[in-house]
Amino acid sequence: MSTVQFIHAYIGLPLFGFLLSLIVQRTKEKLLSVISYSTAAVQLLLVLIYGISWLNMGSNPAQFKELSVYKAVNYEFFIDFLVDKLTLIFALLGSTLTFLITIYSRYYLHREEGYKRFFNTILFFNLGYTLIIFSGNMETLFIGWEILGVSSFLLIAFYRERLLPVKNALKVFSVYRIGDIGIILAMWLLHHLWHSNITFMEMNATVKLNAQLAGASGIGLITAFLFYISAAAKSAQLPFSSWLPRAMEGPTPSSAIFYGSMSVHIGAFLLLRTMHFWENQLIFKVFLVFSGLLTAFIASAISRVQSSIKSQIAYASIAQIGLIFVEIAFGLENLALIHILGNAFLRTYQLLISPSIVSHKIREQLYQNAQTTAQNSSVWQLLQQRIYILNLKEWNLDDLLFKFLWNPLKKIGRGWKILNFKFVFWVMTFVLGVGLLLRINESLLTPELRFKLPFFFAFWGFLIAVKAFTERDSVRKSLTLIMFNHVSISIALSFNEHFDHAHHIWYLSGVIVAWLIGYWILTLMRKKEWVSLDNFYGHIYEYPKTGFVFLLVCLSLAGFPITPSFIGEDLIFSHIHLSQIGLAFFTAFSLIINGLATMRIYARVFLGPHIKTYHQIAKRSS
């Protein structure tokens, strides 16, 4: 079997299985499960056969360009695949655990209302995971990265009639979007280092890499830290550790496959894949060791005081991944891979048997409580008690994230009350009109004004995105503000050279079409139901098909890889100069906030307990 045939078969299987599962009736439980575990079984067989032949052929890495989607000046968006030791180990891990968990899920979720939805999402997740581990460049990796994020959101909110799983799904998705900032800005800096889209093989080529970093060590260090932000967000390392226990709101099998084994180790995969890029950055390696050890210490302490078995396993896994990060920092690649395999299989086993353990131990939990007293305590005992309370509060990691990140954004959006819809509409129309006139009559622009205009439009777009994110009243207003933000970014980038009309089409085509469809859906919904952003309304109960279409609309507005806008987002960053740091920051942050705002709209309109009282009210989650 050739490498090309192996990759096509391995990646094509989950894609074919996912598309096939979409058309299967939800009552056909056996067929849905057979499609899922058969897909994983064939993948496992393929990787074993190819792995043996790969070892016999000399274990040489193999890379090939699959498809060139779009070319421009110093830019090419292409799909590229890479097979090496790292790829095959993660492929073996993924196919084995997916096979085992899908067989387990066949019985665990029997007669569950969301049975079909669960297996659809697992196959979709498998596709994203496969694209990541076989990716040969950052663009291909980012496609799988986005699929993993959306799959996580859907599986955490699997019990969508409950309020807490939906809220936690939004929290986890918000952390994932922070990781997206790291990937987007790292791609931007790498493009300026090489002046083109590069592959991982080129990135890791020692001679070329040293030549590129010779006069740009600062860019290399910043890029390494951006990789860490993405890896830490995906693998729940400090300061993002608090999201992993919240993700356990989904079914036990999804907790095992996502947050015990496969998805949570993708951050470690990213660091291993880019290791040769940052291995000579001493400052970054010291930081990676320190952060890994600190995460391991704090997560281990928190896990010891958790009352929920899933939370105990989650924090124990976080602690081990912190040690894996330390091993990667010291260049111990083989040890890190062995550690990843051991941690993944152990956490999967622990999560799958956790319901049985809870059932068996419930009486001991109720009747074996030892009371302690603080009277005549020594200084050491008092310190132990303080640390115990701090661990119970999970070191306030959730509160810190909200205090220093999301709350300031909410304060900006809610405090700027002049931004009512009529004001925004007319001012936005005026600003965009001026931008288009200046774009047409470029001879009127001085060099200084030409340099400042992109920052102005990007900053204006950022404020619009923040307002869309904090909107609590009109759904259609929030959706329109998201569209305005994309248009403002497009105009901001158009003042830079080599940005032509084709780039506007790539970027805005998916956004505008999605906005039109979404606005039409919300208008129809307003005629039938009450729709707002001040609560969770659960309209998916009575409008499941409408909810699915609106989910696709939200993904399109967020730049998910189902429209040309995903390519357009990558394309516009290739036009941002290295000196335009503010433009890059506000553009990246706008895109991230837009994604959060769109998924928030979908969650509040269609998920959660139904507003009508004649529907069954779900039990509260723990």
Q: Which of 87-101, 527-541, 560-574, 576-590 has the highest mean pLDDT?
A: 87-101
Q: What local confidence, expressed as pLDDT, does residue 547 receive?
A: 92
How many C-beta atoms lie closer than 10 Å to residue 61's C-beta?
16
Residue 438 tokens, joined:
């200046």
Question: Based on C-alpha coordinates, what's the Rg of the chain?
Answer: 25
Q: What percent of the chain has pLDDT over 90?
A: 36
Q: Which of 254-258, 301-305, 398-402 has the highest mean pLDDT?
A: 301-305
Give the tens place of pLDDT for each residue, 159-209.
888 888 899 899 889 889 888 989 999 999 888 888 788 888 888 776 666
Cis peptide leading into residue 609 (ω within 30°):
no
What would the 3-class secondary structure string for 487-527 be?
HHHHHHHHCCCCCCHHHHHHHHHHHHHHHHHHHHHHHHHHH
Distance of CA 602 to the CA centre of its chain: 17
Q: What local confidence, expressed as pLDDT, does residue 417 receive?
A: 61
Q: What local confidence, expressed as pLDDT, does residue 194 receive?
A: 82
How far apart CA 607 and CA 622 sit, in angstroms, is: 19
Give the tens place of pLDDT for each residue, 388-422.
777 777 777 777 777 777 677 777 666 666 556 66
For tokens 């990646």, what's the residue?
A: 11
Q: What local confidence, expressed as pLDDT, does residue 601 receive?
A: 94
Contact yes or no for 166/104 (Cβ under 8 A): no
Residue that wins the pLDDT comparison between 1 and 452 = 452
In angstroms, the Cα distances linking 276 to 14, 96, 200, 208, 211 are 31, 28, 10, 12, 14
Q: Domain-by-domain residue ranges, the chain?
A: 3-357, 416-606
Contact yes or no for 478/468 (Cβ under 8 A): yes
Amino acid in the structure at residue 325: F
Q: What's the rounded mean pLDDT across residues 517-539?
A: 89
Q: What local confidence, expressed as pLDDT, does residue 622 receive?
A: 46
What one-character DSSP code corresponds to residue 255? I
pLDDT greater than 60 at residue 371: no
Q: Which of 34-43, 258-267, 364-373 has the highest mean pLDDT?
A: 34-43
Cβ-based neighbours of 521, under 8 Å, separated by 6 or more: 546, 549, 550, 553
Contacts 24+ apart (CB under 8 A), 586-590: 586/455, 586/458, 586/459, 586/461, 586/462, 587/458, 587/461, 587/489, 587/492, 587/493, 588/181, 588/184, 588/185, 588/188, 589/181, 589/462, 589/465, 590/458, 590/461, 590/462, 590/465, 590/485, 590/489
Give the tens place of pLDDT for each residue, 585-609.
999 999 889 989 999 999 999 998 8
Give the tens place of pLDDT for each residue, 454-470.
888 888 888 888 888 88
What one-character DSSP code corresponds to residue 135? B
In angstroms, the Cα distances linking 430 to 78, 484, 487, 505 are 37, 12, 13, 21
Which contiguous run of DSSP H or E holds residue 168? helix 163-194
pLDDT greater than 90 at residue 247: no
How far apart CA 143 and CA 201 sit, in angstroms, is: 19
Residue 444: pLDDT band with limits 50, 70, 90: low
Q: What local confidence, expressed as pLDDT, does residue 89 receive?
A: 94
Residue 31: pLDDT band with limits 50, 70, 90: very high
Q: What local confidence, expressed as pLDDT, does residue 404 receive?
A: 72
How far apart CA 619 and CA 622 sit, in angstroms, is: 9
Q: What's the rounded mean pLDDT across residues 241-252?
A: 83
In the predicted model, what is the mean pLDDT of the chain?
Answer: 84
Q: Is residue 452 helix, strand or coil?
A: helix
How many C-beta atoms lie closer than 10 Å to residue 357's C-beta?
11
Contact yes or no for 142/126 (Cβ under 8 A): no
Cβ-based neighbours of 569, under 8 Å, separated by 6 or more: 184, 507, 559, 591
How many C-beta atoms lie closer than 10 Å to residue 539's C-beta?
24
The C-alpha torsion from 269 through 274 and 278 to 284, rounded to 10°, is -30
Q: What's the rounded mean pLDDT across residues 419-432?
A: 68
For 84-127, give the DSSP string.
SHHHHHHHHHHHHHHHHHHHHHHHHTTT-TTHHHHHHHHHHHHH
Residue that wins the pLDDT comparison between 512 and 71 = 512
Q: pTM of this prediction?
A: 0.90
Distance of CA 146 to the CA centre of its chain: 5
Q: What's the rounded mean pLDDT across residues 118-133?
A: 93
pLDDT greater than 50 at residue 39: yes
